[in-house]
Amino acid sequence: MNTFIEPERSQWESLVSRPTLDNLSLVDKVSAVLKAVKSEGDEAILRYTQEFDQVSLSEFSVSAEELEKAATLISTDLKNAIQIAASNIEAFHAKQSQDIPAMETQPGVSCWRKSVGIEKVGLYIPGGSAPLFSTILMLGIPAKLAGCKEVILCSPPDKEGNLHPAILFAARLVGITQVFKIGGVQAIGAMAFGTASVPKVYKIFGPGNQYVTCAKELIQRTGTAIDMPAGPSEVLVLADETANPVFVAADLLSQAEHGPDSQALLITTSKDLAISVEKEVQVQLDQLPRKDIAAKALQHSKLIVVKSMKEAIDLSNQYASEHLIISTNNPEEVASQIVNAGSIFLGNYSPESVGDYASGTNHTLPTNGYATAYSGVSLDSFVRKITFQKLTKEGLEGIAQTVVTMAEAEGLRAHAAAVTRRLKG
């Protein structure tokens, strides 16, 4: 990890920079795959699955029998853990449903708002070395709570042409029955454009590698919505001298093992803590099965010692972390001054891992500094908010002059006439 001691504010912009991904170099290749999927449909998907995943499939739709069998292929402990996590996630997200009841803004003028589930949504679940079955819970549960009528799921097959049974178990648990063995760019294209086998959706959710990220950005330009801009996963630990270096090192490594382009930062007011954490990171790193991946991520990760807690908070807000762990003697007070973060974990006993899996909050969060403007996935992500208004004749008479005056000032006489003609009738 790279260490910085009391950097000047003029250095902060470079300190909060993320590992650079040259997505521009991917555009031509990704565009070609999307174009082929759009024009050739299932045939292109099968061809790219053979090319990219090295598996030949005659059918990429997961059968009902495969979904049912998955429960027999994973341990009882894992099934119980998934069910507990699902229960907590459902409980937290169910409380997020809020409609604005009808109200009179002035006599005879009633306004209200109703949430309506997006009819068709697609979920992308990465596979490979770390099949993220937990993401199915994070996306599938709020989709069902929102009332989305059609939810489909795509995930890349293994070399035998199968999906990890935990992915299938989680999908069945949350009620997703349309599951496809499709990965990468071709999965995004299939959901965005639709094929003979894969339904077209209105919005696509889920993390992925740089190819998937690029594909999501490109299909957004063609009219398919996406959950949020994405980049590599990241964590920031904001700590003072009371933090436990063993815990902090574990938190940094839990993020680093995601992938070589992940980033882990420590911002602290204690030089001694920074020294202890750096040593502890090396000790714990050697014990990890994904040591090589984590080590690459640590090459662009940072330990930053600042002069005061105010500087630590200011730098944290400038970084706008996906995950923010506050390990101080007054975490709630520090958190009250945080304005840019995806999800915040308070105190020494709130590791990011809990939010990633089972506390109930959503782990699909804005990365790459987008926490300055974006929220993490929630029930709201799966609904549209439709506003309504209803006016009585008296209500229209009462607001008419306001509307006519404003419309005429903008030179929109037909707008004004739509009001005045009703009053003359």
Query: Which residues are tagged catalytic?
Result: 322-323
Between the alpha carbon of residue 100 and those of residues 68, 110, 118, the distances in Å are: 40, 12, 18
The annotation status of 363 as a binding-site residue, yes or no, is: no
The DSSP secondary-structure symbol of 268 reads E
The annotation status of 93 as a binding-site residue, yes or no, is: no
Between the alpha carbon of residue 104 and those of residues 239, 403, 406, the distances in Å are: 49, 17, 21
The annotation status of 164 as a binding-site residue, yes or no, is: no
The annotation status of 272 as a binding-site residue, yes or no, is: no
Measured CA to CA, the distance from residue 122 to residue 205 in angstroms comes to 6
Task: Mark 135-157 as b/e (b = at least 16 C-beta within 10 Å).
Answer: bbbbbbbbbbbbebeebbbbbbb
Edge-to-edge order in the sheet of strand 203-205 = 178-180, 150-154, 120-124, 203-205, 225-226
The annotation status of 258 as a binding-site residue, yes or no, is: yes
The annotation status of 186 as a binding-site residue, yes or no, is: yes
Measured CA to CA, the distance from residue 137 to residue 157 in angstroms comes to 19
Q: How many residues does the chain have?
A: 425
Contact present, 112 and 103 (Cβ < 8 Å): yes
Measured CA to CA, the distance from residue 153 to residue 135 in angstroms comes to 11
Q: Which amino acid is at 86?
A: A
Which pair of tokens denotes residue 318? 């400038």
The annotation status of 178 as a binding-site residue, yes or no, is: no
Q: What radius of gyration, in Å, describes the C-alpha atoms of the chain?
A: 25
What are residue 386's DSSP bridge partners? Answer: 114
The annotation status of 220 as a binding-site residue, yes or no, is: no
Task: Mark 379-393 as b/e (b = at least 16 C-beta within 10 Å).
Answer: bbbbbeeeeeeebee
Alpha helices in 41-183 (DSSP H): 42-53, 64-69, 76-94, 133-146, 165-173
What are residue 389's DSSP bridge partners? Answer: 111
What are residue 235's DSSP bridge partners? Answer: 264, 323
The annotation status of 394 as a binding-site residue, yes or no, is: no
The annotation status of 323 as a binding-site residue, yes or no, is: yes
List the binding residues for Zn(2+): 255, 258, 356, 415
List the binding residues for NAD(+): 124, 186, 209
List the binding residues for substrate: 233, 255, 258, 323, 356, 410, 415
